[in-house]
Structure 1
């Protein structure tokens, strides 16, 4: 399903299987509990969002600034809100999570609202542009989830094939690419345009990867996604092409001196993503692939930081 929220209770079970030998130990129980909190409250996804801002800052040679904290809070707010709006679909795709959130609507509603309020307060320190950028994913998220489209067909953006994925990608690519610039008082240029396009494509891959997992619920609810419309194999081919375009975009920017050579250090993360896409339909645990996909942005940040440190 095209969605803002991608964490899922089955991923916790995957982690527990990976570290089963620690399950009966006190450290193991504490680790599992901490991970459960991170997944259910979207803290893990919020940290991934902050790491994406770090990647943007490194690509554009900007010091990591308050934009990372704003991204953390906005991600926390939007993902928790979307989990509440996805209860019908999750009743099929992930009954455990649907039950968990269904019994705690008020708690997670307050968490979402509080996190967004904090994000807007922080973004105001960067001026009106930063404030508008922080507001953008929330506003688009409301349009994405609300039933307002006319006609007898799909009545939400999230239910429209391709459009839903594009809305999610745009909602995250714009603030991720531009918030660091806004806090530094820098203008939008060719480098920022490349980075915006890059993260748009990366988000498309991430969204459709999770859509493969959610085919059953999406088909039942009438949500239009590539896996529902085309099947897993064509979706796999499409995502492989998007991965190639992502790296080609950065490579072209380096050749044209729009970005520094260090930008090519994202290659290991791109290879990692390509391996995940190649495993679609073959790996017995799609949840394991989805969980592993969270590592892409932190891996990019580490590789870029190393490249910058060594003067690439």
Structure 2
């Protein structure tokens, strides 16, 4: 069972709030997420240094580069596990984003999971869809509470049948927000690449070409978490450095015997890279603004 943990990084969140959110996500994982066969336990810690080895952190930050959240693969070389960053807000939006990133990270921690399906532009042609289980139904209207009390909201997500994995047939999301495989609900999107390795996105019934460099950068197609690439389109922070392709869980097994302090250090270093990119982005914007005036 894979442990995941929500950790406030540069924000203050009360223990009661963290307990309520992680309890709601745990119910979602134990009750609703079972069809994916990714058992997990969700908790929280006050800092990275308190996080046990083998745990995948979800870090709450004041600034997640203009997106609700993103996740990135781990690295064996610097002992960094897969992790996610979620932008914290005073409203309930961050709880949905945390659920979103946890579910997607569990299904595809490396961000290189594709399935074949019909091209939305030409169903006679097969394309490769990126498996990001919350993106097609990520519209705000489809989040839900795990019971009928005042629990924090969690994200809707696609079931395996949406990607025609295993048993097919409806429902295709836990909230029944999508009516057919490889389609999107209002506010959702799905990313795919065609036989020519051109990238496209389907959203709201419209198909738009996606710039390859904005999604993949200049690195190998197996080196990055593609959701992070899509979310950070045209941003200066390019995600963690590329890592050698390995089996999905080999890095996690190797982490078990390594220093907890080193793991925290590696994650802190990656967050410092994000902060440097943010500062550079702000400097460039200010410079551009001064030139315009």
Asked if TM exceeds 0.5, the reply is: no
TM-score normalised according to structure 1 size:
0.29
Compare the two structures and name the one with the higher strand fraction: 2
Higher relative CO (Cα under 8 Å, sequence separation at least 6) belongs to 1
Compare the two structures and name the one with the higher helix fraction: 1
TM-score normalised according to structure 2 size:
0.30
